[in-house]
Amino acid sequence: MYVIETDKLTKRFGGFTAVDRISFRVESGEIFGFLGANGAGKTTAMRMLCGLSAPTSGKATVAGYDVYRKSEQIKKHIGYMSQKFSLYADLKVWENIRLFGGIYGLSPKQLARKTDELLHALHLDGERDTPVNALPLGWKQKLAFSVAIIHEPAIVFLDEPTGGVDPVTRRQFWELIYDASARGITVFVTTHYMDEAEYCHRVSIMVDGRIEALDKPPALKETYHAANMNEVFQSLARKATRGGV
Amino acid sequence: MNVTANDNNTMITVRNLSKTYSRKGVGEPALQNVSLAVKAGELFGLIGPDGAGKTTLFRILATLLLPGEGEATVCGLDVVTRWREIRARTGYMPGRFSLYQDLSVEENLAFFATVFSASIKENYELIRDIYVHLEPFKNRRAGKLSGGMKQKLALCCALIHRPDVLLLDEPTTGVDPVSRVEFWDMLGRLKQQGIAILVSTPYMDEASRCDRIALMRSGRCLATGTPARICQSYKRPLYSVRSSRMYPLLGHLRSWAGAHSCYAFGHSHHLALKDSATDIASLETYLKEKGYTDALIQPVEPGVEDCFMELGND
Amino acid sequence: MKQFLSFITKEFHHIFRDVRTMIILLIIPVILIILFGYAISTEIKSSPIAILDYSRDNVTRRLAEQLQASEYFKLYRTAGSYEEVETLFRQDKIRLAVIFPAQLAGAGEPSIQILADAANPNEATSLIQYATAIISTSDIAVSSLGAEVRQPGIVPAVNLLYNPQMKGAYNFVPGVMGLILMLVCALMTSVGIVKEKETGAMEVLLVSPLKPVYIILAKATPYLLLSMANIAAILLLSRFLLNVPVAGNLILLVSISILYALVALCLGLFISTIANTQQAAMLLSGMVLMLPVILLSGMVFPVENMPWILRVFSNIVPAKWYIIAVKNVMIKGLGMAFIWKEAGIMLFMILFLIAVSAKRFKTRL
């Protein structure tokens, strides 16, 4: 079963084609790495898949819902977390959990249970009443991820979730991703850390609005005769022509 | 006392520097007893995650913040008393994108040139190498550039008055790997002009591009030295382990009796042993018992990231 | 100097490239003038009144006719008794009642009684002013009533002297000028400076050899120039659209406007030393500057009718002094001798704000 299916999905802004006929499928429970240079069109593609922006042409379904007509349904079945905004910094930890759980329609009883589980799993039991901005960045990002999947969505979209996070916490973050994936949640993730690309089940690399490569990391390394994903990325992204967009 | 630093070409000195933001109240010190020195023509990296105190250190050196305790000099001048002279001789690129989004590439550059009493013409040689990347977009508004291009423009603007010292706070954060490589290539060429460059980054893999580095975490320096020296200081035997089932492998490696720590490292896991007496052969048996028939165990040289995690563990 | 000029050029680039800024600078002044000139008029037209005439002689009859003839009043009923007048007030049928006592023509006591419904005090004040003005300037009254009615306490005829048609626009043009200058100089300057802080550009500028005072001056200059353009536009609009001419010396008017603009710039500068985000600057400017200009400067509500605490507070609102000065120069055509007090107060405000801001502005972060 495919959780995301796109067919020649395209987005144009005036004469500029930000996303150019991308077609791919993501399986349920898969960790799908979505890579690309700045300006390659990742953010635009992700916004379309989240139901935030209507495509210009092409087809796409997310969690079985059409991105043109069922964007409200899509929003109910996905989770989203980005580096820029994840949680309300001035609210306490439990208040954030209650807020986002409430937004996704969890009952007070579910919410209470989830809150305990979540804090326990993150070893944050003692931080229930701490304002989020008092937490170190890494903890905050781990908490934000757990909150983003509090409603057990079909897919969670992560936009550079580990930027600036210290190496240890970054790895703990990926362990959370693996756990979510093992529970059947599909993880759609962008990152600038190339070692993290290796942790993905499959990786797509966007160049100038098109998907230039899409495969398992070992297969990509073989195709491009590269020792690691960084080399794969470098050899592909250097082909980009649209540069300073 | 501060003049001695200048004699042997040291452009930046930081001695036992501490800084606490008094307004924070409950907060821990942003900097704690940090010391380092950067010579002319040296590329010095501050490596550490957010909250390590890198920005605070930059602001003190750029004379925008007063040090708490300890002292710091730039170009041999004290940051507290001689700030005016320091400002004229320093190129500073703050962490956030600091250019005017609604001005074009060329207008930004011309503006900063005038502000620093320089002209693009007289210093074009210095920035030419970088500016050629931007030239095709010179009439484009800076806000419409990609992250990598913005940083190149910001670097040009910081260089336009031919500073002796370049302070770059996280210039590659959020920039894609290709642009990052290009950016570091540029820094490598700049240091050959004799400019002392202090640059910070959260990306551990960029440490190898620096002559010397300081690993920073929570306001403290964990280690200072050349990347090679720091890697040599890693004492534990380190192995790379991989199999077709990577995620469960991580848990099993951690629960192995001889394991000190184990972290995912791209396509393999890095396993640090408790001590050199640990028998690595028994690991193979252990993994076979757990059902890993294709496990590949190889000794591996520690990298900066291994060191950082090991140091941070203490 | 070259640095300074290039900084100002840069500021103009910012201003001309931002649609929102351009709207604030170009469209809002025009809208305000039109709004206040036409739509939000506090002029009173055809207010229902009652007349109770115990005298019933020639004089009172003609006075009553003159009241009815004015466009401000419409006779609702000629009341028969004082009780009836009270009833009419209670039923909300009338806004004003004029009571002529018996033997007005020959009497020696000031005795025309004017009652107004003070549920809306501003309206009541205006109505009383209008009514007394009509009665006191009437030649019948003058010839037959003698001096009593024209006692200063009863007849504040100021409006009539300088604004014979009693048009609201005379009141509002100075007010709008006060508002626009505050908007452009204080709000835009503070937001502009704070924006530099927010984007991190201030860090680079502080580190540059450029002196902070030049940064501030360069930020302020374009807005000062633009606000002068706005003043010109407002004066033209008011002259040709609202028919409010400048009675006094134009140079004096422009000078006092520049003085006020400087007060506003200093306020903007002061706000920028407090606020760290554009939002905060916007909020502070809006709450601390714009609201008092609208509410406490005498632009909409007469300061004299306010509780004493607000009257005292209104003294620190620069717009109050500016509006008084503009009214004196523009409407009454008075000279420097009549506005030196206002000018002095604004000058003092400038010095005070510069001193405070200079103390707060940091050469470090």
> pLDDT digits over C5-34, tens only?
888 888 888 888 888 888 888 888 888 877
Is B312 in contact with A168 (Cβ distance < 8 A)? Answer: yes
Helices in chain A by DSSP H: which ranges? 42-49, 71-76, 93-103, 108-121, 137-148, 167-182, 194-198, 217-223, 229-237
Q: Is C101 in the same domain as C118? A: yes
At A149, is the pLDDT very low, low, confident or very high (cuts 50, 70, 90)?
very high
Q: Is C123 in the same domain as C173? A: no
Within 8 A of C3 by CB-CB distance, chain B residues are 114-115, 117
State the maximum Cα–Cα separation within chain B, in Å, rounded to a whole number.
72
pLDDT at C233: 87
pLDDT at B73: 95
Scanning every residue of chain B, which has its alpha carbon at the shortest distance from the alpha carbon of A41? B146
Within 8 A of A166 by CB-CB distance, chain B residues are 48-50, 52, 202, 217, 308, 312
Say if C365 falls within a structural domain: no
Scanning every residue of chain C, which has its alpha carbon at the shortest distance from the alpha carbon of B110? C6
The verdict on A238 touching B (C-beta cutoff 8 Å) is yes
B240 - beta bridge partners?
A: B270, B298
Q: Which long-range contacts (CB under 8 A, 24 or more apart) does B284-292 make?
A: B286/B252, B286/B256, B287/B241, B287/B243, B287/B249, B287/B252, B290/B252, B292/B243, B292/B245, B292/B249, B292/B252
Q: Is C33 in the same domain as C51? A: no
A15-21: average pLDDT? 91
Determine if residue A196 is left, alpha or beta; phi over 0 gives left, psi from -120 to 50 gives alpha, anything else beta. Answer: alpha
For residue A116, pLDDT over 80 is answered with yes
Tell me whether strands A186-190 and A31-36 are parallel, antiparallel or unpaired: parallel
Q: Is C143 in the same domain as C219? A: no
Is B264 in contact with A171 (Cβ distance < 8 A)? Answer: yes
pLDDT at B287: 92
To test the contact with chain A by mutation, choose from B21, B50, B298, B314 the residue with the greatest count of A C-beta atoms within 10 A, namely B50
Is C199 in contact with B100 (Cβ distance < 8 A)? Answer: yes
Comparing B263-267, C158-162, C262-266, the range with the smallest average pLDDT is C158-162
pLDDT at B154: 92
Q: Which structural domains are found in chain B, ordered by start?
A: 2-226 (3.40.50.300), 238-313 (3.30.70)
Is B49 in contact with A229 (Cβ distance < 8 A)? Answer: no
Within 8 A of C200 by CB-CB distance, chain B residues are 94-98
At C103, is the pLDDT very low, low, confident or very high (cuts 50, 70, 90)?
low
For residue C158, pLDDT over 50 is answered with no
> pLDDT digits over C77-100, tens only?
888 888 888 888 888 888 888 888
Global ipTM = 0.82
> pLDDT digits over C254-270, tens only?
999 999 999 999 999 88
Percentage of residues in chain C having pLDDT higher than 70: 84
- How distant, in Å, are the alpha carbons of B124, B305, C57, C123, C249 from that of C64? 87, 97, 11, 21, 40
Write out the two tokens for B80: 């507290």
pLDDT at C111: 66
Is A230 in contact with B263 (Cβ distance < 8 A)? Answer: no
> pLDDT digits over B17-70, tens only?
999 886 544 567 889 999 999 999 999 999 998 888 999 999 999 999 999 899
At C156, is the pLDDT very low, low, confident or very high (cuts 50, 70, 90)?
very low
Comparing A97-111, B38-52, C161-175, the range with the smallest average pLDDT is C161-175
Comparing A29-33, A151-155, C300-304, the range with the smallest average pLDDT is C300-304
B136-162: average pLDDT? 89
For residue C333, pLDDT over 90 is answered with no
pLDDT at C104: 59
The verdict on A173 touching B (C-beta cutoff 8 Å) is no
Contact B75, B6 (CB under 8 A): yes
Start-to-end CA span in chain C (Å): 25
Q: How many helices (H) and strands (E) does chain C have?
A: 18, 4
Q: Is C145 in the same domain as C174? A: no
Beta-carbon neighbour count of residue C113 at 10 Å?
13
Say if C182 falls within a structural domain: yes
Q: Is C292 in the same domain as C258? A: yes
More confident residue, C201 or B249: B249
d(CA C351, CA C356): 9
Q: Is C21 in the same domain as C122? A: no
A185-203: average pLDDT? 93
Indicate which CATH number applies to the domain containing C143: 3.40.1710
At C157, is the pLDDT very low, low, confident or very high (cuts 50, 70, 90)?
very low
Q: Is C110 in the same domain as C60? A: yes
More confident residue, C259 or C42: C259
Query: Shortest CB distance from C17 goes to which of B66, B98, B102?
Result: B102
For residue A242, pLDDT over 90 is answered with no
Contact B77, B22 (CB under 8 A): no
Is B87 in contact with C17 (Cβ distance < 8 A)? Answer: no
At C44, is the pLDDT very low, low, confident or very high (cuts 50, 70, 90)?
low
Residue where a domain terminates, one of C132, C162, C192: C162
Which residues, in sequence order, are CB contacts of C143 under 8 Å at separation 6+? none
Q: Is C23 in the same domain as C89? A: no
More confident residue, B8 or B120: B120
Chains in contact with chain B (at least 3 beta-carbon pairs closer than 8 A): A, C
How long, in residues, is chain A? Answer: 245
Scanning every residue of chain C, which has its alpha carbon at the shortest distance from the alpha carbon of B107? C10
Residue where a domain terminates, one of C109, C140, C162: C162
Locus of tokens 């208040």: A95
**Mean pLDDT of chain B, nearest integer:** 89
Most confident of A150-154, C43-47, C196-200: A150-154
Comparing C-alpha atoms, which of B123, B206, B64, C203 is closest to residue B74? Answer: B64
For residue C146, pLDDT over 70 is answered with no
Query: How close C255 gets to chain B, by Cα (Å)?
Result: 32
**Mean pLDDT of chain A, nearest integer:** 90
Say if C124 falls within a structural domain: yes
Taking the alpha carbons of A149, A155, A160, A162 in that order, is the dihedral positive or negative? positive
d(CA C225, CA C257): 12
The verdict on A244 touching B (C-beta cutoff 8 Å) is yes
B76-84: average pLDDT? 91
Write out the two tokens for C314: 């209104």
Query: How close C230 gets to chain B, by Cα (Å)?
Result: 24
Q: Is C329 in the same domain as C189? A: yes
Say if C59 falls within a structural domain: yes
Query: How close A238 gets to chain B, by Cα (Å)?
Result: 7
For residue C160, pLDDT over 70 is answered with no
Say if C18 falls within a structural domain: yes
Query: How close B313 gets to chain C, by Cα (Å)?
Result: 34
Range of the domain at C19: 2-40+167-360
Q: How many CB pairs lie under 8 A apart between chains A and B?
A: 114
Comparing C-alpha atoms, which of C118, C122, C69, C65 is closest to residue C95? Answer: C118
To test the contact with chain B by mutation, choose from C202, C207, C363 the residue with the greatest count of B C-beta atoms within 10 A, namely C207
- How distant, in Å, are the alpha carbons of A125, B252, C87 from that of A121? 9, 19, 77
Which residues, in sequence order, are CB contacts of B91 under 8 Å at separation 6+? B158, B159, B161, B163, B165, B166, B167
Comparing A47-56, A76-85, C355-364, the range with the smallest average pLDDT is C355-364
Is B100 in contact with C201 (Cβ distance < 8 A)? Answer: yes
Q: How many structural domains does chain C have?
A: 2
pLDDT at B4: 41
Q: Is C128 in the same domain as C181? A: no
Query: Shortest CB distance from B174 goes to which of A192, A217, A245?
Result: A192
Phi, psi for C183 (deg, rounded to 5): -60, -50
The verdict on B92 touching C (C-beta cutoff 8 Å) is yes
For residue C149, pLDDT over 50 is answered with no
Scanning every residue of chain C, which has its alpha carbon at the shortest distance from the alpha carbon of B96? C200
pLDDT at C168: 58
pLDDT at C287: 82
For residue A162, pLDDT over 70 is answered with yes
C44-67: average pLDDT? 81
Residue where a domain terminates, one of C139, C162, C185: C162
Comparing A132-141, B17-26, C62-71, C342-351, the range with the smallest average pLDDT is B17-26
For residue B273, pLDDT over 70 is answered with yes
Query: How close B94 gets to chain C, by Cα (Å)?
Result: 7
Beta-carbon neighbour count of residue A87 at 10 Å?
22
Within 8 A of A245 by CB-CB distance, chain B residues are 144-146
For residue C128, pLDDT over 60 is answered with yes
> pLDDT digits over B252-261, tens only?
999 998 999 9
Scanning every residue of chain C, which has its alpha carbon at the shortest distance from the alpha carbon of B87? C207
pLDDT at C43: 59
To test the contact with chain B by mutation, choose from A38, A162, A173, A178 the residue with the greatest count of B C-beta atoms within 10 A, namely A38
Q: Is C276 in the same domain as C177? A: yes
